[in-house]
Amino acid sequence: MPAKKAKAAPARKSKPKARKAAPASQFDTLRKTVKDLSTRLEKELKARKIEARILSEAKKAREQLSAQVSALRKQGSQLAGELKKALGDSRSYEKAKADAQKKIDQLKKDLSARTSELRRKSEELKKLAEESAHRAAQIIRGEEHPAQEPEPVPEGAHMQATPVEPQPAESPASGDKEPSI
Pairing of strands 169-170, 177-178: antiparallel
Report pLDDT for 152.
Answer: 56
The rounded distance, in Å, linking the Cα atoms of 103 and 96 is 10
How sure is the predictor about 167, in pLDDT bands with cuts at 50, 70 and 90?
low
Contacts of 179 (CB under 8 A, 6+ apart): 139, 142, 144, 166, 168
Please state the rounded mean pLDDT for residues 80-98: 89
Q: What is the pLDDT of residues 14-52, one digit of tens each?
A: 555 544 556 778 889 999 999 999 999 999 999 999 999
Whether pTM > 0.85 for this model: the answer is no
| Res. 59: pLDDT tops 60 | yes
Report pLDDT for 88.
Answer: 86
Report pLDDT for 18.
Answer: 47
Cα-flanking dihedrals φ and ψ of residue 43, to 5°?
Answer: -60, -45
| Res. 173: pLDDT tops 50 | no
Which alpha helices (DSSP H) does the chain contain, by range? Answer: 16-141
Report pLDDT for 24.
Answer: 79
**3-state class of 12 per DSSP?**
coil
**Quick one: DSSP state of residue 181?**
-
Cα-flanking dihedrals φ and ψ of residue 111, to 5°?
Answer: -65, -40
* Whether 139 contacts 181, CB under 8 Å: yes
| Res. 156: pLDDT tops 50 | yes
152 CA to centre of own chain? 63
**3-state class of 178 per DSSP?**
strand
The rounded distance, in Å, linking the Cα atoms of 108 and 114 is 10
